[in-house]
Structure 1
Amino acid sequence: MATFVLIHGAGDVGWYWHLVEAKLRARGHDVVAPDLPCDDDTAGLVEYADAVVAAVAARPDLHPDLVVVAQSFGGFTAPLVCERLPARLLVLVAAMIPAPGEAPAEHTENTRYADDAWGGYGDEIEVFYPDVPRALALEAVRRAPRQSEARMREPSPLRAWPDVPTRVLLCRDDRVLPARYLRRVAHERLGITPDEIDGGHTPALSRPRELADRLLAYAAEQGMAASGPPPERP
């Protein structure tokens, strides 16, 4: 058993994880999926990490084995959380991979994003939710807060990548962080060959069962086995 700490991306809310959360809870695990202060111009990466740490601290009933999972821009927050909480595993899902001291606004240039960027950007749903059921994608857009960029040029307080086992899971059809880009950045920055699944940038909405199964498998590899019924199968 474990507690999955689920960190959403930019301009989003914890609701993003609700389908995956239900599947993890059904297997006997605890889940925390807080809203980050995305629309607060006074909030930076430290405050984002504060929100996650506070959400965990507010639940003394949680299982102490923590699996920190981050999507997209949540990749900047997750390693800061792992510096402050006793995480047993860090999983980056279609996520940015920051370097120590890197400002979010510098990330695309520093990682040579333009070399691998996907062409033909369209509307928000086409880019972020191309394989999500239409009604669910519209609900995600409706719930999305404004993403403040007021403090994006501040260097991250990350001193070094946390000494926590780390997995990178990319999505082969991702139009935001393309597979070829994340393969390269994961190798260059972490020395990791990512695992891969089909789908676009938001697999917690488009492939919640497959994503939950992956997270459960990663946790089991670290000795955190599920206590509920086995994963669903098609």
Structure 2
Amino acid sequence: MRTNVLIPGGGAGPGYWSRLVPLLDGEVIALDLPTADPSAGVAEYADLAVEAVGDREDVVVVAHSLGGLTAPLVAARVPARAIVLITAMVPRPGETGGEWWEATGHNALGVDSSDEKAVFYNGVDPEGIAIGDAASRDQSFTPFNTPGQPWPDVPVRFLFCTEDRFFPIDFMRRVVADRLPGAVTGEIPAGHMPMLSHPKEVASFINQA
């Protein structure tokens, strides 16, 4: 049986996947990462993911947003059949998450994320926003300090969200074409939190891995 390991984005607990989990094929492990702990970074997140997988042998590594920094480390250490990235960061080998913003040109976009509801939750209904709020937590900067590792020889699927205000669609298409040219891509008319606004569509994309 396949196992889906869900790596959350920044400052998110496992609860924000709650609408998606029942729709996924196979077993689901929604990771609960120590996001607020300044002593825990990408390596520690990956260790926790690998420990959670244990001896399971058919693994789909799913990562959202900041989780893209952790995904290649996990997929290199478990029997991964695929990596599925949901509007996620795509680091180059040797590039830290902190360097990613300038290197990709995101800083030049001038995205103002001060209004979190408008930027991150566009298209999400009030109940979904409440789910996201309940799952939110502090996020340390530590994961942004680790140099990226080479992407393992594992098939990658990337889900674009065409209404994403934080990672705008034209920006993300350019990043993925440049950094993951072999990825299978799909897109849905969602913002940055598609697991809350479009769980059926997200599940369908993951289930095809």
For this structure pair, what is the TM-score category when the shorter chain's length is used for normalisation? over 0.9
1:179 aligns with 2:176: no
Q: Are 1:128 and 1:202, in contact at CA under 8 Å, matched by a contact in 2? A: yes
Equivalent residues of 1:118, 1:175 under 8 A apart? no
Paired position in structure 1 for 2:133 = 141
* Structure 1 contact 173–199 (Cα < 8 Å) conserved: yes
- Aligned counterpart in structure 2 of residue 113 of structure 1, from 85, 106, 112: 106
Following TM superposition, by how much is the alpha carbon of 1:143 offset from its aligned partner in structure 2, in angstroms? 2.5
- TM (norm. structure 2) is 0.93
| Counterpart Cα distance in 1 of 2:60 and 2:154 | 10
Q: Within 1, Cα distance between the matches of 2:159 and 2:98? A: 23
Give how far 1:122 is off. 5.1
Q: Supply the distance in 2 between the matched residues of 1:176 and 1:96 (Cα, whole angstroms).
A: 11
What TM-score do the two structures reach when normalised by structure 1? Answer: 0.83
Aligned residue in 1 for 2:70: 77
Which residue in the other structure is 1:35 paired with? Answer: 32
Q: Could you say what secondary structure the match of 2:86 adopts?
A: strand
Question: For residues 181-220 of structure 1, what are the structure 2 equivalents within 5 Å?
Answer: 181-192=171-182, 194-217=185-208, 219=209
Alpha carbons of structure 1 residues 121 and 9: separation in structure 2 relative to 1, 3 Å: closer
Q: Which segments of 5 or more consecutive residues in structure 2 lack a partner in the other structure? A: none
Aligned pairs for 1:57-96 (under 5 A) are: 57=54, 62=56, 64-96=57-89
Tell me the alpha carbon deviations over residues 190-221 of structure 1, each in whole angstroms, 9 at most, x when there is no partner: 1146321111001111111111111112x2xx
Kindly state the Cα deviation for residue 152 of structure 1 after the two structures are TM-superposed: 2.4
**Corresponding letter in the other structure for 2:192:** H
Cα distance in 2 for residues equivalent to 1:155 and 1:38 = 18
Report the structure number with the largest CA radius of gyration. 1
* Cα deviation, residue 92, structure 1: 0.6
Deviations 1:50-74 (CA, angstroms, capped at 9, x unpaired): 11111112xx5x5x21111110000
C-alpha distance in structure 1 between counterparts of 2:86 and 2:79, whole Å: 20
Compute the RMSD of aligned alpha carbons.
1.7
Q: CA deviation at 1:118?
A: 6.5
User: Which residue is equivalent to 2:21?
Assistant: 21
Evaluate the alpha carbon distance shift between residue 119 and residue 73 of structure 1 in structure 2; reply closer, same or farther with a 3 A threshold.
closer
